[in-house]
Amino acid sequence: MVTRTKAKAAPLRGERELPAAFEDLARVGYCLLERALSEDAVNALNARIDEQAAGERARGEAFIDSEVNQRIWMLPNKGRIFRDLVLEPLVEQMMGHLLGPGFLLSSLTANIARPGGAPMYLHSDQGYVDFWTEKPLVANILFMLDDFTDENGGTRFVPGSHLNPERRAHAQGETVAAEGPAGTMMVFDGRLIHGTGANRARSGERRALLAYHCRPFVRQQENYFLGLDPQLRRTEREAFLRRLGFGIWAGLGRVNHPSDAGVLAPVGAPTGALAADGEPEGLDAGLPAAALWSVGQFTA
């Protein structure tokens, strides 16, 4: 008879225990860093999230999940406090460890789990990749903005599932809840199986901020080229814009020839279609497509 050992959650680590936290990441796929956010930072983030959540409900734009939980998307547009968090040194250190240099912000969102919600389905954050990878392509940071407990829906994980190349399905009974006081940073490997827990408490919201990241060659979850407020595109810090993908990495993302160093401002006058004498031909230069395709017949 096979005896199943109950999975154990990763322990809380202090700021001087980063080597041990890295070991947790390798062994169980996530780590917990207590007091990563100060009490003032937690209070300020909660105030901005609560205000934004109420405003989106008032405008009929709220995204409600599992009937009661509310998610807030595209946080870079919704407050300087969120954009500052993107550039925190500890974020750089943890994501650099998992994803290497040049990593990008994939999305920045908030999740408010309210009593009565259902548990989220178990998944991995790189589940859209149809094969297992030896290293993570994406990784996530969850900032606990309230105390996380099993009862109030602390995020549930299957420890060690990031190392399973078979990518098999897992049951809720195999999960453990990530628990910790408000201000804790939970860092986890994008291959790890997890899901939001159900808030079974009689009252009280459980708020979290999720900073999802990816390697620099991976398509981001939020399209900042289309979705970022144009004013921020003009005024934000260069480091912030590069973290969102407004830069060239290993020749990817360029706007001209391969040796172009790249600029963060939109190209004002891109080179278009030209005639042989160098004069502009216009955007519709060339033989009309309909005429081209009618030249011959193509069969599958």
Q: What is the pLDDT of residues 96-143, one digit of tens each?
A: 999 999 999 999 999 998 887 777 778 899 999 989 999 999 999 999
Q: What are 140-197's pLDDT values in tens digits?
A: 999 999 999 888 878 899 998 899 888 777 778 788 888 999 999 999 999 999 887 7
- Calculate mean pLDDT across residues 65-87: 92
Residue 18 clears pLDDT 80, i.e. is over it: yes
Q: How far is CA 48 from the centre of its chain?
A: 19
Rounded distance between C-alpha atoms, residue 185 and residue 163, angstroms: 22
The pLDDT of residue 146: 95
- Rg for the chain (alpha carbons), in Å? 23
For domain 12-220, give the CATH number.
Answer: 2.60.120.620
Phi, psi of 243 (to 5 degrees): -65, -25
What residue ranges do the domains of the chain occupy? 12-220
**Of 13-17, 26-30, 243-247, 288-292, which gets the smallest average pLDDT?**
288-292
Collect all residues with Cβ–Cβ distance below 8 Å to 225 and sequence separation of at least 6: 245, 246
Residue 298 clears pLDDT 60, i.e. is over it: no
Q: What percent of the chain has pLDDT over 90?
A: 54
The pLDDT of residue 288: 63
Structure tokens of 280? 């502009």
Collect all residues with Cβ–Cβ distance below 8 Å to 86 and sequence separation of at least 6: 76, 105, 108, 211, 240, 243
- 């979290």: which residue's tokens? 208
Q: What are 1-12's pLDDT values in tens digits?
A: 333 345 667 889
